[in-house]
Each structure stands twice: as structure tokens, then as C-alpha cells.
Structure 1
Amino acid sequence: MNLIHFFGDEAPSRTSVYRWYGEFNRGRSSLQDEFREGRPKSVVVPKTIDAVRELILQDRHVTYREIETILGISGTSIHSILHKHLTVKKICSRWIPYKLSIGPKKGRVDWSKEMLKKYDRGASKHVYDIVTGDESWIYAFEPESKQQSTVWVFQDEPNPTKVVRARSTSKQMVACFFGKTGHVATVPLEQRRTVNSEWYTTICLPVVFQEIRKTNRQRRITLHQDNANSPTSAQTTAFLSTQNIELMGHPPYSPDLAPNDFFLFPYVKNKLRGQRFSTPEEAVAAFRMHVLEVPYSEWQKCFDNWFKRMQKYIDLHGEYFEKQ
């Protein structure tokens, strides 16, 4: 009680007093810590911090356990060095479609500036003239993602497991076209063929244009397509010149600027994951059904986001950016 009276909160505990009493009884006379072999109380010193920094610079994938093994320090000390002293964090690498050089970056920026000006940043009524299209494979079975397979589990239940299954080799390619007001046409390829200029100009595009001009044969159409061989071939160019079609153009190496790639295909295919279809044709029918169920507001949002992406690429000087 006297210790508490004189020292307040800094007074030693009863356990500490008993321990000291025992130490003095066995002949100890110094209040200094005795020398003990082994590692010091703290290894978080400039030398160790520099050693951890060097390990990271040598290998950006180095793990806690590898640092602990190499330097012989505890996980607690490593955590302190990494987050308090070096202020580093471990993040996933950003996946990009291509390694862009200066030329393609400039092309993306120039095209984006041109489109933003031409269509008044998406506010022009002529945005409704744009029809965008692209092709993709539809599989009879596409396994669901890990995120889609998550389920609630009670404390007394075992963790669920699922056998990994690869997507099927049974597939069919489809071309899908849409505008700001919604879906225009989905045209499947038969017999698993890939797109060529003949199919594109004699089967696919005529179906698309006929659907658009069902109620107005003179309706203005601005076609947006990627830079694949078929859409840019001489045969396709000649065909489009006879159809009174304006081409919107598209910058090279830019799937992230194609509405099918950043919106429609991921949106619909995510709904098809985990479902098993007996034939590719059945899978295509399900694909078309989901496309037709896309709400009007989502088509509008897609086009609004398209023009926002253009501005984003200008701000980033043509670099890819993470999905927003």
C-alpha cells in the first residue's frame, strides 16, 4: 500500500515485489538486467530494416516465412518492419491485354478525344445511331467462378469442397450487336467456324442492318466494330460502302474500349457459368435469352460508361486502367 501511495500507477505489482524479494534473497544486489544469450529484445533496428528492404528489392514475391528463415527474426518483427518502417503492402499485379508502346497509347487518346468531341461527351442524339458488335465463343459448359461457389456454412459444418471442372470443348461462336436502346441482333456461326469476311458480309451484317431498318429503311447507322481481320477487310469495306453505313472506327489493342468486351459478354456469361447445356445451340439460346432480359437502364449505363472510359484514357495518357 505504501508503494501505491508514493508511486501511484507506476508502482510495481504484488507479483513483481515477490519476484524481486526472491532475487535479493538469493544474493542478487544489482537492479540491472542480467546478460542472457540469444537474440536481443528487439531486432527492429536499421540494419535489419535495410536487410528486409533488400530482400524485397531482390524478390517482390518474397514471403513472411522466407524473410523469417533468411534473417532469423520473428513474424511480429517482420510485420513491424514491413508495415511500420518500410510502409509496404502486397497487392496483386494488374493484368492488362497488351503491353502498349507510345504509338498505340497515342492512338487510344486521339480516338477518345475525337469521339468525345463528335458525340458531345455522349450527350449528342447521334449516340443513338451507334450500333456496336463483336464475336465470342459460347461454351456448352463454363464452370462457375470461385466467388459464385461461395455458400454460408454453420460453425459445426465441414467446409464444402467442389471438384474442379474445365469448361467444355463443345462451343459455338456468336456475333452480338446492340445500341444504347438495347439488343439488335445475335447471329450464331454454324459448325464451329471462325468469322471470315464472307460470313460477315453475306450473313451477319445483313441480318443486323435489316433488323435496325425494319421500321425505317433510311435510318442512319454508325457501326462500331473492332480491328479484327474480317471487319477491316477489303470485302467488308466494299460492302459497307454500298449500305450507306458510317464507320465509327476503333483504336488498336483496345478491347477495353469495346462495349461487348467490357459490358455485355462478361455480364451475360457470368449468368451462364455453372450451367450445363446438352449442345452448343442450347447454350447460344440461353445466351440470347439473357441478352434479351438485360434491363433498358443497363444498356443506357453501358453507353454512358463508354464515354467516361474515353475520358479516363485521356487522363491516363492511353494506359489501361483497372475495372471501375
Structure 2
Amino acid sequence: MDKSEYRAVIKFLVLEGQSAEQVEERLTAVYGESSPSSATIKRWVMEFQRGRESLEDDARSGRPSTSTSPENIDTVHKLVMENRRITLHETTGLSYGSIHNIIHGKLHMSKVCARWVPRMLTDDMKLSRVTISGALLTRYNAIPDDFHFRIVTSDETWVYHYDPESKQESMEWKHATSPKTKKSKATRSTKVMTIFWDSKGVIHIDYLPHGTTMNGKYYAKLFKQRRQSIKVKRRGKIRRGILLHQDNAPVHTSRIAMTAVQECGYELLPHPPYSPDLAPSDFHLSPRLKKHLRGRIFEDDDELTAAVEGWLGDQNVDFYRSGISDWQTRWNKCVELGGDYVEK
């Protein structure tokens, strides 16, 4: 809570005629340990009792600061531009606070980490991404409802018996005297899962048996199982013609898998290489599923699969449809960015 908001509460209670002790009691009851100190409360009660109206601090007297002069700002800016990894202590002879104020308050700069990408895209790769995105965008915009009805997308992902939370996800607020929380680096048992889904929901899920390798032969076998699932769950979809989307993983592009696609009569949509940002399973479904599972411990495969299928079943149609709709938004952004990766 901002300090001016505390002062507003104190002012209100003083106008009600309450004493400093009563004001402190009320604030402590409501805000607990985050309440202002007793001395601060008494000082502001006295100020408001004397008729003070402003909630802001009084302006400080003394010489104006010269540390943020145009010359110092220009000097710091040049140093940062010459070495973008420079630390605040390495810049100039100014105090740490002054340098911090110049960089953040005057130059409006912040230090960020580089973003990991699947691959540094070449010009040819970017051209491929723009060309394919433009073609799919044109097809989608022609008859959006037809695209939503006919599309089926799939991908493999790993799910874990235990996937520990990241440092950022496990951060908690604590007092200086509070004990630090701990978490163990438990062994993660994995399970490979293939999900086939469309704009209405999940069509088919396959869990790779332990000791089995995901290869072209195994993946091709899934097409027959998936075709039967589509017949049962999506009447009329096969008759209209399936638009199949998958990435360019070797198991997907193997000769036996491509033969299975043709035998099933599916139309395979193009997908640019090294482009998980343009695959709905990668940018929409899998990240949200894994976030739900992260930090939980599953004793065996049955518990894990129950959690996976329970979460997938809890998502409504809008969740799956938005995954396909966001795809169209990403094609647009990819074209606008000249083929660079789309972040969001």
C-alpha cells in the first residue's frame, strides 16, 4: 500500500475525532505488520490535528542536486551505449543513487537478459516463415469457420512425475526474520505424450509406453487411431477434409509418416522450420498444461495421466478455439516482423 494511502486513512480517523492510540489500533488491526510505525502514526496524527491538508511530504530545503545535470546524463549515456553490460559501479565517479536515478529516471533504461530462441534465423528461414504465414493467413481469412472446423493439430510433449517450479514461480514475500523456503531437486520421471486437438477440444491422446521409441512407424500407427477418434467425436469432419498441422520433427516428416498422411486423405499444411512460435501446441496448449502440473508430485503414471486429462477436460471450447484464433494473429505478426520470432 502506498504511504499516501495510509496517511489518507489516518486523516479520516483524525477527522472522526480518534486519538493517536486509537488510530494505531485500527491500522494494526487492518494492515497487521505492514502498518506504519507507532512514531509515524503519532507524527501524522499531530499534523492533521494542527489542520494539515496535504498528504505529501514537504519539499526539502537546500541546494538542488547537480548530479543529474545534462553533462552527467550525457556522460552516463555514452558509457552505457559503449558497453551495454556495464554495471552501475563501473560508470562514473557519481554516487550509486545518482547513477541509478540517471539510468532509470532520466534515460528510462533497464537491464534485461537476452531471450532464448530456437535458432538464429537466416534470411532464407525468415523468408520461408513470411511466405508460409502469408499463405496460411490468406486461407484462414477466406473462410475462418471452415478453417476452424477442418483443422487438426498435433505435437509431442514431455510430462513429468515431478517438474519443479522455476525460481521466479516459487518466489514468496517474506520478512527479514522469516526462514527461507526450501525445495528439493527431485528426480523427474518422464512420459512422452502426443495430443491431437482442434478448435473444439482434444480428439486423441497417446502416451508412449516406457521402453518404446517414438519413431515414424509408431507415429504412423497413431493416424489410424486418430481417424477413428475423429469419426466418433467430430462427425462430418473427415467428409469435409482434414487440414492437418504438425511441425517438421523427423518423426513427422519420415517417409512412413508421410505415406500414412496420404492414405488417410489428410491435407498437410506447411510449417516453417524452427518455428515453435507458429505451432498452436507449442505456444498455446503445452505451456499452460505444464504450468498447471509444475510443482506437483505424482506417484505413478496413473496419477499423472489423470491430472493431464482432468485439466484438458476442464478447459472449455473457447480455450481451444482461441488457440487456433491466436495462430492467425501470430501469422500477422510474423509477416509484420519480416519473419522474426513472435514473442506474444
TM-score normalised by L of structure 1: 0.77
Residues 1:56 and 2:56 aligned together: no
Q: 1:112 to 1:81 in 2, by over 3 A?
A: same
Equivalent-residue separation in structure 2 for 1:88 and 1:294 (angstroms)? 40
Q: 1:289 to 1:96 in 2, by over 3 A?
A: same
Match of 2:112 among 78, 87, 91: 91
Match of 1:266 among 278, 283, 287: 287
Residues 1:138 and 2:159 aligned together: yes
Match of 1:196 among 205, 215, 219: 215
Cα contact 1:173–1:192 (8 A) shared by 2:
no
Cα contact 1:122–1:307 (8 A) shared by 2:
no
Cα shift at 1:303: 1.1
Match of 2:170 among 146, 149, 154: 149
CA deviations 1:195-223 (Å, max 9, x no partner) are: 20010012x22221110012556452111
Q: 1:207 is aligned with what amino acid?
A: Q
Cα contact 1:200–1:231 (8 A) shared by 2:
yes
Cα contact 1:138–1:174 (8 A) shared by 2:
yes
Q: 1:275 to 1:84 in 2, by over 3 A?
A: closer
Equivalent-residue separation in structure 2 for 1:120 and 1:107 (angstroms)? 20
Report SS of the residue matched to 2:295. coil
CA deviations 1:2-51 (Å, max 9, x no partner) are: xxxxxxxxxxxxxx9xxxxxxxxxxxxxxxxxxxxxxxx84556765454
Which residue is 2:180 aligned to?
161
Match of 2:148 among 118, 121, 127: 127
Which residue is 1:170 aligned to?
189
Which residue is 2:230 aligned to?
212
Whichever of the two has the greater Rg, that structure is 1
Map 1:58-77 to 2 at 5 A.
Answer: 58-67=82-91, 71-77=92-98
Equivalent-residue separation in structure 2 for 1:161 and 1:194 (angstroms)? 42
Answer 1 or 2: higher relative contact order, Cα 8 Å, separation at least 6: 1
Equivalent-residue separation in structure 2 for 1:121 and 1:146 (angstroms)? 45
Cα shift at 1:65: 2.7
Equivalent-residue separation in structure 2 for 1:302 and 1:318 (angstroms)? 20
Q: Which moved more, 1:266-275 or 1:161-170?
A: 161-170
Report SS of the residue matched to 2:159. strand
Q: 1:145 to 1:139 in 2, by over 3 A?
A: same
Which residue is 2:37 aligned to?
none
Report SS of the residue matched to 1:312. helix
Report SS of the residue matched to 1:128. helix
Equivalent-residue separation in structure 1 for 2:283 and 2:81 (angstroms)? 35
TM-score normalised by L of structure 2: 0.73
Cα contact 2:223–2:264 (8 A) shared by 1:
no
CA deviations 1:199-248 (Å, max 9, x no partner) are: 0012x222211100125564521110000111111111112211111111
CA deviations 1:288-307 (Å, max 9, x no partner) are: 22112111111111111111
Cα shift at 1:312: 0.9
Q: 1:125 to 1:119 in 2, by over 3 A?
A: same
Identify the structure with the greater helix proportion: 2
Q: 1:74 to 1:151 in 2, by over 3 A?
A: closer
Q: 1:133 is aligned with what amino acid?
A: S
Q: 1:97 is aligned with what amino acid?
A: P
Equivalent-residue separation in structure 2 for 1:122 and 1:159 (angstroms)? 58
Which residue is 2:10 aligned to?
none
Cα contact 1:139–1:167 (8 A) shared by 2:
no
Regions of 4+ moved over 6 Å:
none
Cα shift at 1:125: 1.6
Cα shift at 1:159: 3.7
Equivalent-residue separation in structure 1 for 2:289 and 2:231 (angstroms)? 26
Q: 2:147 is aligned with what amino acid?
A: H
Q: 2:165 is aligned with what amino acid?
A: E
